[in-house]
Amino acid sequence: MSSNWRTYSFLLILVSSHTKAQDCNNPPSVANASIFPTSTREGSQARYFCDPGYYTSDVTLIQCIRGEWISLEEQPSSLVSQYELIFPTCIEPTDGCGSPPLLINSIIEPNGDRKSAWSIRTAQIQKYDIDDKIIYSCIGGYYLNAPAGAVSTCLVRNRWSLNESASNFPICVPDCGNPPQATNATIRVFSTIEGSVAHYICNEGLSTNDVTTSTCRRNGNVVSWDLVQLPRCTNPENGCGNPPMINNAYAMRIHPYKEGDIVTYHCFQDYELDAPSGFHVVCRQNKWINESELPILPFCRRVCLSLPTLPPGGVLLVNETLRNKDGISFSNGVEHDFGCKPGYRLVRDATLTCVEGGWKWRVNGKPAEPPLCYRDCGPPPEVANATLNALATVETWAIDYVCNPGLSSSSSKTIVCDSNGKWVSQYQEAETFPICTLPSLGCKSEGCGDPPVLKNGWFSFVGSHYNDTVTYGCNFGFEISAPNGTTSTCLPGNTWRLNPWSEIFPSCNTGCVQPPPEATFDLEIVDEPFRDTFGFGFGSIVTYSCKQGSTLIGSTTIICSNGMWLPDLPTCVRNCSAPPQVPNTQIRQTLNSEAQSYEYICDLGFSTIDNTITNCLDDGTWSLTRLPRCTAPEKGCGSPAPFQNGKFSGEAPFAEGAFITYRCKDDFRMVAPNGVVSTCQAGNKWSLELNPGNFPECRLGI
C-alpha cells in the first residue's frame, strides 16, 4: 500500500471522529455481478463478486464513509484523492473459465492446494485456464454431500465439469459433528446432519433413568445436539443393567431389568441374525445369561437388496423361494444362475452370489468377471463348392469351410460369430467369405511329399506324386469328420506352399454318445440330428422352442462338441395373466421382467410387513398365495408425501426415529429451507411435513 493511501487513511479516521455518522444509499449495481452483504450503515463494507462464468481483475471491496461508497483496496493516488469509486467489470473469458458455480457455506482449494484455499467470495473473481481444477469443501459446521465428487475441472467454452443445475452438484449440509461422549456409554448414530438422532447406550451391566437420545436440531443459522444433560450410567441396585450389545441389532425391552427378565434381539433394517429366530438372554442373579446352545453371541449380517444391472442380453434365473420374509432381500450365500435372452448365446458364464450385503459374480465359489452374452448369428452363409464344419466351444462359435476336391481358396476358410451377431472372417474381421476355385497348373516333379499326420487317427498311402492318394481313418473311440471323404489326392498346381493335403484334411473328434437333453415342461425339440450306431456326430445341432404361452430363455440351439452338448439347455417361462389388484396399493414391474415379476407398493400413509413381490410360476399362476395388506401404521410413519421432480432414500416400514433424505432429479436444483432430511416423529408424522410451506422443492435450472 502506498504512503499517500496510508496518510489518507490516518486523516480519514481523525476527521470521522468529529463528523456525524451518515449512512449510504444502496451500493451501485454492476453487470454480471452481485454484492454481499447489503448493509448501508456508516462504516459497513461490501464486496462485489462475479456471477458464475465471469471474472474481474478490478477492485471489488468498498466501504461506506460519510455517506459515500469508496474503494478500500490500493489505487493510484490521483484517484484516491478525488474520492472516486472504481467499479469492477465482470467479463466472460475468451479462453478458459470464469468463476465456478457458487456453493454456499464452502471454501475452494485451487488445483487441490489446501494451503491456499480461498473463501467462496474470493473464488468468484478469479480467471481459470483449461484443465485447472478446484476442490469444494465445507466450512465448519457443515458436511459435504458430493455424489459426483468434489473436484470440478475447467472445460472448453467456459464450462465447469460440475454443473450447479445438475442433481449431483455438491451440497453443504448442516452438520452437528460427533455427539458428546458420556461416561460408561457408547453412542449409536447413523448420521450427524440435521434431523439425525443419537442413542446413548450404557455399557453392559449398567443402566440409567436419564434421557438417552439427542437430536441434531437447527438453532438460527447453526445446528447442534439438543441433549443438555448427558446420561449417567451406574450399577443397578437390583436386577441387571444393559444387556450385551450385538452390532447392528436392538433389544426388544426397555430398562430397568429385573430378575428373570428376557431380552430378545432383532437386527436393524437390511440385516439378519445368524442365529435361530427369537434369540435372547435372561437376567439371572444380576447377570445376563445366554441360555441358547450358541457358544458366543451371534452377529447381524447385512442382506442383499435390489439385484444389479445385468450385461446386455442377459437374464437372471432368480430363485424366488430363497427370498427372505420381507419379499425383497436375500441372505448371504444365496446364488442365482445367469442365462441369455432369445437371440443371444452365452460366451462367459458366472453365478451371482450374495456376499456380506453385496452381489458378487463367482465361478466355483471364486471371484470372477461378469458373464457375457453375444448376439446369435443364426445359420452360417453357404459357399459354392464347399462344405462346412462347425467348431463350437463355450466361448467361441466358428465355422470351417472345406473346398471340394480339386479346388482351393486364397482367403481364410474360417469364419466366427462376433459379438454383434454377424459372421466375419476370423483373421480379416470383415464379412469376407472364401471362394473355392481351380488352382493353376504346374506340379513340381518331387510330388506332394508325406501327407500330414491325423491326430487320433491313421492313414495309408502308396506314393505322393501326382494323382497318388492317401486314405485316413480314426483310432477306436473317435469319430472322423471328413465332409469331402476320407481319401486325399495329390493335385496339380502351384499350391505346395498351402499344402494341398490340408484342403480336404479330415479330423478325428469325440462325438456325443449321449442323446441331447430331453425337453421339459413347455420346451420341445423342433429339429433333432441323425443318430448312427456310435451316437451323434461332432457338430450335430439340436433346435428347441417353447410352446405357445411361454417365453424361451437361453440359446435356441445346442451343438455336439467333443462329447458335450453346448451351451446349456434353454428354459421356458410361462406367461401369466395380470396380477390381482390389492386395495391401497400400486403395482409396478420389477427388473426381472422376463420372469414376469411384480411388486405391490403401498399408497401414501400406508405400510405393510407382508411379502410384496409376486412372480409368475411355471404353471401360469402367481407365487403370492396371500396378498399383502397395506394399512395405516399404529406406530411409526407411513409412506412420505410425493416429491415432485425428486426422490427420497429409505425403505419402509418407517419406525419412530427413522429418517429419509430427499434429492432432486437431473437438471433440477434443491430448495430446502428446513434441510433435506425428514425424521419420523411421535404421532406418526414426518418432520418436514409439519410445515408444508418449507417442504423441499426441486426447481428447474436454478
Model confidence at 228: pLDDT above 70: yes
76 shares a domain with 7: yes
- Cβ atoms of 640 and 646 within 8 Å: the answer is no
pLDDT at 9: 35
Model confidence at 4: pLDDT above 60: no
75 shares a domain with 11: yes
What's the structural domain count of the chain? 8
Tell me the average pLDDT across 176-190.
88
Model confidence at 497: pLDDT above 60: no
Residue 661: give the domain boundaries. Answer: 646-700
**What is the per-residue pLDDT across 293-302, written as a single tens digit (0 to 9) for each?**
666 778 888 8
Q: Is 54 exposed, middle or buried (0-12, 13-18, 19+ CB in 10 A)?
A: buried
pTM reported for the whole predicted model: 0.37
Cα 578 to Cα 469: distance, rounded to the nearest angstrom:
69
582 shares a domain with 554: no
Model confidence at 376: pLDDT above 50: yes
Tell me the average pLDDT across 566-587.
81
- Cβ atoms of 300 and 246 within 8 Å: the answer is yes
70 shares a domain with 13: yes
**What is the per-residue pLDDT across 604-645, written as a single tens digit (0 to 9) for each?**
667 776 777 888 877 778 888 788 888 776 667 877 777 777
447 shares a domain with 434: no
Please enumerate in sequence order all residues whose Cβ is within 8 A of that of 253, keeping only pairs 6 or more positions apart, or say none: 261, 262, 263, 264
Residue ending a domain, among 632, 655, 670, is: 632
Tell me the average pLDDT across 435-441.
60
671: helix, coil or strand?
Answer: strand
Instruction: Give the chain's mean pLDDT.
Output: 75
Confidence band for 284, pLDDT divided at 50, 70 and 90: confident
647: helix, coil or strand?
Answer: strand
Tell me the average pLDDT across 282-296.
77
Q: Is 240 a domain residue? A: no
Nearest to 125 by CA among 37, 55, 212: 55
Model confidence at 403: pLDDT above 50: yes
Cα 47 to Cα 637: distance, rounded to the nearest angstrom:
47
Confidence band for 179, pLDDT divided at 50, 70 and 90: very high
Counting Cα atoms < 13 Å in the Cβ hemisphere of 97 gives 23
**Region at 500 (left for phi over 0; alpha for psi -120 to 50; beta for the rest):** alpha
**What is the per-residue pLDDT across 77-98, written as a single tens digit (0 to 9) for each?**
444 444 567 778 888 888 888 8
Q: List 659's β-bridge partners, or say none.
A: 679
Cα 535 to Cα 537: distance, rounded to the nearest angstrom:
7
Q: Is 386 a domain residue? A: yes
Cα 580 to Cα 67: distance, rounded to the nearest angstrom:
76
Report residue 680 as a C-alpha cell: 419420523
With helix as H, strand as E and coil as C, how does 9-46 read? HHHHHHHHCCCCCCCCCCCCCCCCEEEECCCCCCCCEE
pLDDT at 456: 72
166 shares a domain with 130: yes
- What count of other Cβ atoms lies within 10 Å of the Cβ of residue 474? 21
Give the CATH number for residue 477.
2.10.70.10
Cell 483310432 identifies what position?
475
Q: Which of 86-90, 177-181, 537-541, 666-670 has the highest mean pLDDT?
A: 177-181
**What is the per-residue pLDDT across 25-63, written as a single tens digit (0 to 9) for each?**
888 888 888 887 778 888 888 888 888 888 888 778 888
433 shares a domain with 449: no
Cα 418 to Cα 396: distance, rounded to the nearest angstrom:
9
pLDDT at 14: 37
Higher pLDDT, 336 or 123: 336
Tell me the average pLDDT across 561-585.
80
393 shares a domain with 353: no
Tell me the average pLDDT across 93-104.
84
550 shares a domain with 568: yes
Q: Is 89 a domain residue? A: no
Angle CA 688–691–693, to nearest 5: 110
Model confidence at 18: pLDDT above 60: no
pLDDT at 410: 59
Cα 77 to Cα 74: distance, rounded to the nearest angstrom:
9
Cell 469443501 identifies what position?
137
Q: Which of 325-329, 335-339, 415-419, 421-425 has the highest mean pLDDT?
A: 335-339
Confidence band for 214, pLDDT divided at 50, 70 and 90: very high
Lowest mean pLDDT among 300-304, 310-314, 479-483: 479-483
- Cβ atoms of 499 and 452 within 8 Å: the answer is yes
Of all residues in the chain, what percent carry a pLDDT higher than 70? Answer: 76
- Cβ atoms of 451 and 470 within 8 Å: the answer is yes
With helix as H, strand as E and coil as C, how does 321-338 read? HHECCCCCCECCCCEEEE
654 shares a domain with 621: no
For 200, the enclosing helix (H) or strand (E) is: strand 197-202
Q: Is 651 a domain residue? A: yes
pLDDT at 71: 81
Confidence band for 455, pLDDT divided at 50, 70 and 90: confident
Cα 292 to Cα 535: distance, rounded to the nearest angstrom:
59
End-to-end alpha-carbon separation of the chain, Å?
40
Cα 377 to Cα 418: distance, rounded to the nearest angstrom:
8
Q: Is 371 a domain residue? A: yes
For 68, the enclosing helix (H) or strand (E) is: strand 68-71
Q: How far is CA 628 from CA 320, 382, 585, 631, in A?
A: 17, 57, 9, 10
What DSSP assignment string belongs to 363-427? ETTEE-PPPEEEE---SPPP-TTEEEEEEE-SS-EEEEEEEPTT-B-SS--EEEE-TTS-EEETT
**What is the per-residue pLDDT across 188-202, written as a single tens digit (0 to 9) for each?**
888 888 888 998 888
362 shares a domain with 325: yes
Of all residues in the chain, what percent carry a pLDDT higher than 90? Answer: 2
Tell me the average pLDDT across 173-195.
87
Lowest mean pLDDT among 61-75, 452-466, 557-571: 452-466
pLDDT at 80: 41
Nearest to 231 by CA among 184, 174, 164: 184
Question: How long is the chain?
Answer: 702
345: helix, coil or strand?
Answer: strand
Q: Is 62 a domain residue? A: yes
pLDDT at 492: 58
pLDDT at 263: 85
Report residue 91 as a C-alpha cell: 467479463
Higher pLDDT, 458 or 503: 458
pLDDT at 121: 52
Higher pLDDT, 359 or 541: 359
Q: Is 198 a domain residue? A: no
Query: Beta-strand (E) ranges in 547-649?
Result: 550-553, 557-561, 564-566, 571-574, 585-589, 597-602, 613-615, 646-649
Lowest mean pLDDT among 84-88, 484-488, 533-537: 533-537
387 shares a domain with 398: yes
Residue ending a domain, among 438, 454, 474, is: 438
Tell me the average pLDDT across 163-186.
85
**Region at 446 (left for phi over 0; alpha for psi -120 to 50; beta for the rest):** alpha
Give the CATH number for residue 166.
2.10.70
Residue ending a domain, among 538, 554, 574, is: 574
Nearest to 200 by CA among 189, 250, 190, 191: 189
Longest dimension (CA), the chain: 130
Cα 575 to Cα 441: distance, rounded to the nearest angstrom:
64
Higher pLDDT, 369 or 672: 369
pLDDT at 225: 92
Model confidence at 447: pLDDT above 70: no
Q: Is 233 a domain residue? A: no
Model confidence at 500: pLDDT above 50: no
Nearest to 578 by CA among 620, 550, 548, 627: 620
- Cβ atoms of 657 and 197 within 8 Å: the answer is yes
Cα 164 to Cα 666: distance, rounded to the nearest angstrom:
10
DSSP state, 116?
G
